[in-house]
């Protein structure tokens, strides 16, 4: 690009993906010759092995229940005999309960923490299903940005009138011919998408009577009650104002 066409220094152009040297066109679509091939594919093979192991466990459980006339548990938890009544019954039962239902109780707060600290927090809308669908499409698009090389176009955020620097472009994960997108940043977006998916499942579980019996409900007792009178409305023992 010319001097007035882009807002890039000469030092950045020398280290850019496109202008630092010849680029193989095959790499623009994510094709690159790797040697040895097994080292390049080991993570993919590991993922396939984990998926096969997971399917084997679920098939074995389903076969065992059908053979012994057993019903599947109401909730997909590790400790099936732990309910809301065991939360205050010792430290061990408390830990087991939160292993089962931590996201059921604190998933919304965890999702909000990830949302407000992420670059795509402006996409958060009132309905979590819309946010989950939109965010899943964005993560797929970001994955394709990591696979392909940046083309020769002069993007609007690299024009002479744009008030964008390399750090902002990197943080917003815009395509750029100066610095290739770092795929490690997708780990955070994946965790945010995972929390949004779990929170959607939590909203559905809150409307199931069987889950509320096991895990308890998430309905606030009352925000206007005096703290000293909580024991009159809360069936859980009051450890603060008991004296």
Which tens digits make up the pLDDT trace of 3-16? Answer: 555 666 677 767 77
Work out the angle at residue 29's Cα, subtended by the Cα atoms of residues 23 and 30, and round it to the nearest 5 degrees.
85
Mean pLDDT of all residues belonging to the chain: 77
How many whole angstroms separate alpha carbon 147 and alpha carbon 107?
32
DSSP string, 128-148: HHHHHHHHHHHHHHHHHHHHS
Burial class (CB in 10 A: 0-12, 13-18, 19+), 202: buried
Domain assignments of the chain as residue spans, ordered by start: 79-220
Which CA distances in Å does 61 have to 47, 69, 187, 235? 21, 12, 31, 37
The structure's pTM equals: 0.63
Average pLDDT over residues 38-52: 91
Lowest mean pLDDT, pick from 41-50, 82-91, 217-226: 217-226
- Provide mean pLDDT across the span 82-111: 87
Nearest to 45 by CA among 57, 37, 33, 56: 37
pLDDT of residue 18: 64
75-90 pLDDT, tens digit each: 888 888 888 888 888 8
Q: Residue 80: which of 71, 68, 91, 90 has the closest Cα?
A: 71
Given a cut of 70, is residue 69 above it in pLDDT?
Answer: yes
Say what the alpha-carbon torsion angle 56, 59, 64, 69 is, to the nearest 10 degrees. Answer: 170
Between CA 5 and CA 143 the distance in angstroms is: 29
Most confident range (mean pLDDT) of 122-126, 171-175, 188-192 is: 188-192
Is residue 2 helix, strand or coil? Answer: coil
């Amino acid at each position: 690009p010319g001097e007035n066409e882009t807002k890039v220094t000469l030092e950045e152009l020398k280290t850019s993906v496109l202008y630092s040297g010849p680029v193989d066109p095959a790499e623009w679509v994510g094709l690159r010759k790797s040697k040895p091939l097994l080292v390049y594919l080991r993570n993919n093979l590991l993922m396939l092995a984990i998926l096969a192991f997971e399917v084997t466990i679920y098939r074995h459980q389903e076969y065992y229940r059908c053979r012994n006339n057993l019903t599947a548990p109401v909730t997909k938890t590790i400790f099936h005999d732990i309910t809301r009544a065991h939360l205050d019954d010792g430290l061990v039962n408390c830990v087991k309960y939160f292993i089962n239902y931590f996201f059921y109780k604190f998933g919304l707060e965890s999702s909000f923490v990830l949302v407000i600290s992420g670059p795509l927090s402006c996409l958060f809308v009132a309905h979590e299903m819309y946010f989950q669908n939109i965010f899943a499409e964005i993560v797929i698009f970001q994955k394709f940005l990591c696979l392909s090389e940046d083309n020769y176009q002069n993007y609007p955020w690299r024009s002479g009138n744009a008030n964008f620097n390399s750090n902002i472009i990197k943080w917003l994960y815009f395509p750029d011919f100066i610095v290739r997108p770092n795929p490690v940043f997708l780990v955070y977006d994946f965790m945010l998408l995972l929390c949004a998916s779990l929170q959607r499942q939590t909203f559905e579980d809150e409307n199931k009577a069987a889950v509320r019996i096991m895990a308890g409900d998430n309905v606030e007792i009352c925000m206007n009650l005096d703290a000293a009178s909580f024991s009159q409305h809360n069936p859980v023992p009051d450890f603060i104002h008991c004296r």
